[in-house]
Amino acid sequence: MKPKKVLVTGGAGFIGSTLVRELLARGYNVTVLDNMSIGLIDNLPNGDGALKIIAGDVRDFEMVSAVVQGHDDVLHLAAQAFIPMSYDLPVKCASVNSLGSLNVFKACLDHDVKRIVHVSSSEVYGSSRYTPMDEKHPLNPVSTYAVAKLAADLWAQTMYFEHKLPVVILRPFNTFGPRDTLPRFIPEVIRQNLKEPVIKAGNLQSGRDYTFVTDTAKGIIQAMECENIEGEIINFGTGRSPKMYEIMTMILRMMDLREKEIIEDKSRFRPHDVDNLTSNAAKARKLLGWVPEFDLEKGLQETMDWYMNNGQLWMYEKRGWYWKF
């Protein structure tokens, strides 16, 4: 039997590159579609002939349609994924995250894709009205990024209802791990610990539910492989949401840098921050059998080890990106 062909949009990015590795390890033939605005070729493995890389943008429907053709499944991760960037580039964020997603959905319909997994975000919920947050939690996006992701979710749902688009919507809570492409909280704390005289941080009082990137990638594959779940919305997370200062304290302890000075940087505060995101992943356990294997400390150790063993360079550092682009 020929290996299944899987297309990963945004496959050269942070979660996408880990997902590609997991797919190749399972014997799939993988195509990556990425415009390389955030992702990097350096993120991807060799693939030994089972990996094909195409440079392209999901906003180009004709190109997307041509790439989708011939693939059994599509895992859609392509996005402008950094919330602070969305404040300055709202039109780009909307066009990539919303209209770009619509292009992918339509191409999947046109070419009879068996399953499309649309990777959304817990940010569509806004701050928790109750915890843990299940899939019925009220939707209250409070950033341009979150609004654009929710618009894509609604299009996916509507196309499932109208056309039976074989889509599954995943809402991972925060993900962390090796090969991060953007200056998010955990990679920035690690970088600043090693390279800056002080640590500059934003809101340390918010709580976040962090899942290690390998666990997120495996969950995406399980959603692709599981039968009879079209139209479902599924949360991924650990059910625990330590405060950001607790995560920072853990990183400082693990790196033996407890005395590092921390400075509150007002420029890093979001206009309307989400106070708490804590997942209820019972549906993922029930439908997919998904259970995260990494706790926070184990995942942090893996992340720090990767950074130390890979030239102490995040992918955004290779591009010369820091907090402000």
Does 219 score more than 90 pLDDT? Answer: yes
Find the length of the chain: 325
What gap in Å lies between CA 225 and CA 104, rounded to an integer?
Answer: 19
What gap in Å lies between CA 77 and CA 97, rounded to an integer?
Answer: 9
Q: Which long-range contacts (CB under 8 A, 24 or more apart) does 25-29 make?
A: 26/221, 27/3, 28/3, 28/4, 29/3, 29/4, 29/5
Closest Cα partner for 256 from 308, 184, 314?
Answer: 308
Give the pLDDT mean for 40-58.
94
Give the pLDDT mean for 29-49.
93
Closest Cα partner for 43 from 177, 149, 147, 157?
Answer: 177
Give the pLDDT mean for 169-183.
96
Which pLDDT does position 114 carry in this prediction?
98
Does 262 score more than 90 pLDDT? Answer: no
**Dihedral angle computed from the Cα positions of residues 160, 162, 163 and 166, in that order, rounded to the nearest 10 degrees:** 10
Which pLDDT does position 325 carry in this prediction?
35
Is pTM beyond 0.85? Reply is yes
For 47, the token pair is 């693939």
Please report which confidence band the pLDDT of residue 1 belongs to, taking 50, 70 and 90 as the band edges. low
Please report which confidence band the pLDDT of residue 93 belongs to, taking 50, 70 and 90 as the band edges. very high
Structural domains in the chain?
5-180+211-239+278-295 (3.40.50.720)
- Higher per-residue confidence, 48 vs 56: 56
- In tens, the pLDDT along 98-157 reads 999 999 999 999 999 999 999 999 999 998 999 999 999 999 999 999 999 999 999 999
Give the pLDDT mean for 160-184.
96
Does 270 score more than 80 pLDDT? Answer: no
